[in-house]
Structure 1
Amino acid sequence: MLLYEDKVSGSRQQDAAIDEAIRIVQFIRNKSLRLWMEQRGTSKNDVQTNCAVLAKAYPFASRLNSQARQASASRAWFAISRFYEHCKNNQPGKKGYPTFQHHNRSVEYKTSGWKLDADGRHSIFTDGCGIGRLKLVENKQQSIETFPIKAIKRVRLVRRADGYSVQFCLKTERKVEHVPTGRKMGIDVGLKAYLTDSEGNTIENPRHSRKAEKKLARLQRRLSRKQKQSANRKKARKALAKQHLKVQRQREDVARTVANASVSSCDLIAYEDLQIRNMVKNHKLAKSIHDAGWGIFLQWVKRYALLHGIPVIAVAPHFTSQKCSECGTIVKNRSVFAPMFVLAVE
């Protein structure tokens, strides 16, 4: 699946209609979850058929497209099935028991309830929510009109701090022709250096959250001083959310750029399989680990490696420390990259 995203421009009435559709999605998901909690042995089919019952019982729910209601119920069942899977696999820690949603931000349509305008620059939503015709703020790199309509399997409206966006989920095969370089590289993520490879090259940690820390603190103080449920508080909350969104996008942009460059220049990548979930439990390092974004970087490495068709090896972190636990001496023969290349050669 390929995800194509465009920002949309609409009137205040259309923005309110999108918010109403998002609230209906949240309502149906929570009702589906309530059905599973109250009736033992509820199946996926029971959750899906309950959508028609909800549409008859609640007139406002019937305004949402029927396939969008089905997609909402599928979200609830996804949370349920994930909980079952974690219990079956005896995953350590919390199993992720499904909880009710309070801040949903998207509504998803399948093959009906929407259509593209003939000019390819507008998207029309035809269900009873009254969203209507939305202008697409075109992506400079590529336009959605270049893709066949049949390839679009899902359309999603997303609300973010800086406005609304529409996402088109395209069923297509994407593969990059990899140019062999003969390099086998081990990578190590860290806090001082964002990335260190087996050749000794390092990339400086950008520390986006640390750089924006003062501005975020100022915006947070401004928000706390505003009266609850006032218009000024909504403005302050929106300003804070925009700054957090900016930091998030900066972090992801760096992760994608570095991951793409690493995969393009190697024929094999090995990385230290760190348990990030356990590491962030250290309150002294949690903020810095989240700021570095190890998890999202490794996700993009795996995605780009899949496109290029090169292997990515996760190496257990045992015996990879370079410092002696007693005297602190650097022991070179216990380098973090040594076990990586043993596996790479094998």
Structure 2
Amino acid sequence: MKDSTVVIRTYKYRLYPSKSQETNLFRVRDACHGLYNMVLAERKYVWQEYGETVPSETLQAFGKRYRKTFPYAQQVYSQTVQSVIERVDEAYQGFFRRVKKGEKPGYPRFKSKQQFNSFEFKQYGSGCKIDGRRLKIYGVGRVKVRWHRELIGKIKLVRIKHQAGEWYASFVCEVPRKQTITSDWEIGIDVGVSALITTSDGEKVENPKYYRAGQAKLRRLSRKLARAQRGSRHRKQALQAVQRQHRHVANQREDFLHKLTHTITNIYGRVAIEDLQINNMVKNRHLSKSILDSGWGLFKEQLQYKAAEAGVQLALVNPYKTSRKCSNCQREFVNLTLQDRWVECLCGLSLDRDHNAAINILKQAGWDTSAVANVECV
């Protein structure tokens, strides 16, 4: 049963392994990568030949044999082996779920070393634990960590990841949920492309568009990568430069959204947003880049966990026609296009389209919206 008194948070820290420690980290990663592909091959064979799944007990026994058979795999902690097998199972569960829903199946695929870039310790203290100012990792040693912020809560899981030539440790923690609501104020929020958010109070936060701002540099780095010879040291360096640029943009976006969602949950006691299906929306090739650059999904994710942590009530409302109805009389606007940024209604309402949508979102939350920002109808 889920504990309602805690929320899950992840804290990510940079690791600084020595050369020998990095060699061991790669050995563990590579052993996990080999196990993943072997388990996937076994499951794929059984599924294609017999139309059946492999019992989890059989797969766990397979993992034990793998550690005994291959000397390099003995450097991998037993629970890490279990987590690799569970990753294959999760990939298949996702495949079955998509088939059942009639979506594109996306059959589980074999992974290259670049694609398989992390491994886990499912239980903190077993194979991985904090030792002073360092992180003690089974098969690797005591690795230096940059503790740039306080680690709060009970550690449940540790994930080690190699990203753009750098190593990181992510700690998944249980953090006590705050029981107090920050205020009685409520707000409706409409997300967009030009303005990242528009509130029911009429305030707008512009979209910083970090990806588009760094696109010229990314194109230049990508051309250098394309010219580099496969397998060469230069190509490896060029690839890491591209990866670092992508990570830099992602970090900028994440930091901006952290500050924005922190401000929202600090000010308001009730927040309403649209329950948008981002995966479906990015299928539109004209909007996909703008939507992903805006970080709508990350904004929603951060707002959800911060609201839960701060005791803020968050409502996810149906986005159907929130932009196409008058927030004053609920009359539907006819022939409204994406180019129309201002709406006018027969009832006299004349309002910015996104502001109108934000008010509708707040009203759909079902709270007492008598305190909704006064909008003058002329």
Q: What is the TM-score with the length of structure 2 in the denominator?
A: 0.80
RMSD, aligned CA? 2.4
Structure 1 match to 2:3 = none
**Residues 161, 242 of structure 1: 8 Å contact kept:** yes
Counterpart in the other structure of 2:199:
197
Aligned to 2:363: 341
- Measured after TM superposition, the shift of residue 192 of structure 1 is 0.9
Q: CA deviation at 1:339?
A: 5.0
The 1:2/1:294 distance shift into structure 2, 3 A limit, reads closer
Q: Which amino acid aligns with 1:278?
A: N
Q: 1: CA distance between counterparts of 2:81 and 2:214?
A: 39
Instruction: Tell me, yes or no, if the aligned pair for 2:76 and 2:138 is still in contact at 8 Å.
Output: no
Q: Out of 115, 128, 133, which is 1:114 matched to?
A: 128
The question of whether the paired residues in 1 share the 8 Å contact of 2:317 and 2:364 is answered with: no
What 5-or-longer segments of structure 1 have no aligned partner?
A: none
Q: Secondary structure at 1:270's aligned position in 2?
A: strand
Q: Distance in 2 between matches of 1:239 and 1:124?
A: 29
Structure 1 residue matching 2:53: 3-state secondary structure: coil
Report how far residue 126 of structure 1 moved: 3.6
Q: Which consecutive segments of 4 or more residues in structure 1 shift more than 4 A?
A: 326-329
Paired residues for 1:168-317 under 5 Å: 168-170=171-173, 172-317=174-319
1:137 aligns with 2:137: no
Residue 80 of structure 1 pairs with residue 92 of structure 2: yes
Assess, with a 3 A threshold, how the Cα gap between structure 1 residues 342 and 2 changes in structure 2: closer, same or farther. Answer: closer
CA gap of 1:303–1:32, structure 2 versus 1, over 3 A, is: same
| Contact 1:30-1:100 at 8 Å conserved across structures | yes
The DSSP-based 3-state class of the residue aligned with 1:104 is coil
User: 2:182–2:265: 8 Å Cα contact kept in structure 1?
Assistant: no
Alpha-carbon distance in structure 2 between the residues aligned to 1:287 and 1:2: 28
Structure 2 stretches lacking a partner, 5+ long: 1-7, 47-51, 325-332, 369-378
TM-score (norm 1): 0.87
What secondary structure is seen at the aligned counterpart in 2 of 1:108?
Answer: strand
* Distance in 1 (alpha carbons) for counterparts of 2:158 and 2:281: 37
Identify the residue that residue 17 of structure 1 maps to in structure 2.
24
Between the aligned residues of both structures, percent identity stands at 29
Equivalent AA in structure 1 for residue 189 of structure 2 = I
- Cα drift, residue 162 of structure 1: 5.0
Query: Which residue of 2 is the match for residue 7 of structure 1?
Result: 14
Greater shift after overlay, 155-164 or 194-203?
Answer: 155-164
Aligned pair count reads: 332
Call closer, same or farther: CA 1:282–1:227 in 2, change over 3 Å.
same
Structure 2 CA distance for aligned equivalents of residues 116 and 166 of structure 1: 11
